[in-house]
Structure 1
């Protein structure tokens, strides 16, 4: 297994008119971070050197043109572009969006090729990144296309883990997306992630109902009884510790979530509203279910405070920590999986 400082963390810089550059550079102002990993920021060293002046970052940057020039103990910046362009904090700019995607695509390619070990993405603006070459609602959908596996958004903060059956789709389309195959796949993805990524041998998973009161016996919608419940029952009978569907309204306020290793919500806001309420800005968005590791902070570009030097970088730092923890867990899981099980000798 690699030494900690040799774990290479690829970082896509996100929207440069937002707080991405600030939270990335502030994270690595602490020299102890470089004992845990070697960061490689996919951007341009001149651009970041210019931007860091606005929030008085003391971070020293090491510009490189190729990934074989990475140095441990340094904050490496791979020059993904050379051209200059106008930056204005807080402005929604299509040109800036294009450079955010240049950074992200280059970092993803490096991840695919094994040139970086994990990927941590700074926030993008989902509107200004759209183009003929990039027609995705966000990072997760692109990664699902480029990497092996089935991507699932899993929000993580300590022992609180919330996954989603559906993510970036309109609320009026959620019910039509819920099929037995989808629910089964998402539950299995969460279960496998808890085992290999979080070292939980026999994970307990709760599934929230789609409708108020989980349908109230069919009075408030039939999806819970006719689609969700039968899948849970079948999977439980085959050994998966999955329970529900639970009425979502009181599930978190009552502390019921603490009895489970993960919770699966039916749609985006059903899961993310309680998560962001409970995580206090320290949460992480982890893309579970893929053959590579990607994390990100649980917030957006924050145009309103960009360039003011007041952005809270804890969520980004936690995203780095989680990526490193999962990398180590996966390596340990792989090692254990290779070892033959010991059996007791029979005495005749």
Structure 2
């Protein structure tokens, strides 16, 4: 379980966070894990959930899954009521449910939900966004040609996006994410490394309240190139860039050989790890934290998290889905939003924190 510190004092001062949810593929487990999370009414003490779908679609999901939840239908997110599960009606029809199947209709409704949720996030009608899983194949359309959530959010929101997999004790970012392995080495440039390090550094400070972050960078080649014997990218690109970052006062170390870095526990010496490519980072992350991990899009001006699993068609509609990761994504979004607000207030007025403490005595 990740460690979150959402205090009553903070909620009384700031008000409840309005947490938007895009429901993902209706034929997958997205609606199930979202509804199961808030089936526990205690979750409503932490935030006000706002699902972007329709009341009729939620009724169909609830009945098919045998869930004991009630919800409040609204027409826009600003009408959300605290203490209730709110559903923004963004379509009137009732899409046919075909649990476990990848259908064009399932992808189309997933994108309608995502677009409505992102618009509400951009317009400050919700504070944070948690996205349920989509299918990267059936979402493709004339007006949506993105490999996934992260790329779409990078276009719609401000900032430099970074896929950041997080859990208590382990945070893994990627230098390259949805890039073919054959193109990875060429894609990693000094400019890219510096940009990603900057994004991770800023996120660790603002989103996770870490004052002086330490970052490890994994090598591109086996054994980090063995001094140039197995590829020259680590010697010619990674090492000089890491030295330059260190000269600038950043605590960045590496490149480390990826094969032993996680198994040896070396990752525990750092606040975050930057992997060279997708599977180099995500395989160890999911092995160590599957079911508890969260996918956080760092670097944007808005907070978005997601569970660390996909649509899980193989168990969709059977009531078997574990909602642990979705619940962690909810808590992560709330905590990051709170940390970010406090960081912005502190950097704007460094004395404010100490003044507030003095007022208590």
The bucket for the TM-score relative to the shorter chain is over 0.9
Contact 1:17/1:92 (<8 A) preserved: yes
Write the mapping of 1:206-285 to structure 2, written as runs, cut at 5 A.
Answer: 206-285=216-295
The answer to whether the 8 Å contact 1:154/1:163 transfers is yes
Alignment of 1:21-170 (within 5 A): 21-170=31-180
- Displacement of 1:251 after TM fit? 0.2
Return the offset for 1:51.
1.0
CA contact (8 A) 2:56 2:94 kept: no
Q: Confirm or deny: 8 A CA contact 1:160 1:261 kept in the other structure.
A: yes
Asked whether the 8 Å contact 1:11–1:122 carries over to 2, the reply is yes
The match for 2:3 is none
The one of 293, 304, 316 equivalent to 2:326 is 316
Work out the CA distance in 2 between the residues paired with 1:165 and 1:124.
Answer: 23
Distance in 2, matches of 1:340 and 1:314, equals 37
- Residue 203 (1) aligns with residue 213 (2): yes
Note the C-alpha offset of 1:120. Answer: 0.2
Q: CA RMSD in A?
A: 1.2
48-57 or 17-26, which moves further after superposition?
A: 48-57
Report Cα offsets for 1:118-170 as digits up to 9, x if no partner: 00000000000000100000000000011111100000111200000000111
Aligned to 1:332: 342
Indicate conservation of the 8 Å contact 1:43/1:103, yes or no.
yes
Kindly indicate whether the alpha-carbon contact (under 8 Å) linking 2:57 and 2:95 is maintained by their aligned counterparts in 1: no
| 1:31 CA displacement | 0.8
Q: Is the 8 A contact 1:209 1:247 kept in 2?
A: yes
Distance 1:289 1:61 in 2: 33
CA distance in 2, matches of 1:155, 1:162: 5
Q: Deviation digits for residues 200-246 of structure 1, max 9, x if unmatched?
A: 00000000000000000000000001011111100011111000000
Corresponding position of 2:29: 19
Q: Check whether the contact 1:5–1:72 (CA below 8 A) recurs between aligned residues.
A: no
Q: Which among 176, 182, 195 is matched to residue 172 of structure 1?
A: 182
Q: Residue by residue, what CA displacement relative to the aligned partner does 1:304-347 show, whole Å, maximum 9, x if unpaired?
A: 000110100000000000000001100110110111569xxxxx
Paired residues of 2:165 and 2:172 also in contact (CA < 8 A): yes
3-state SS of 1:242 partner: strand
Does the 8 Å contact 2:121/2:129 carry over to 1?
A: yes
Quote how far apart the aligned CAs of 1:5 are: 5.9
- Give the secondary-structure state (helix, strand or coil) at the position aligned to 2:68: coil
Ranges in structure 1 where 5+ consecutive residues have no aligned partner? 343-348
C-alpha separation in 2, matches of 1:337 and 1:55: 47
Look up the match of 2:357: none
2:303 to 290, 293, 301: 293
* Aligned mates of 1:192, 1:65 — CA distance in 2: 36
- Contact in 1 for aligned 2:21/2:52 (Cα 8 Å): yes
- Give the 3-state SS of the residue equivalent to 2:250 in structure 1: coil
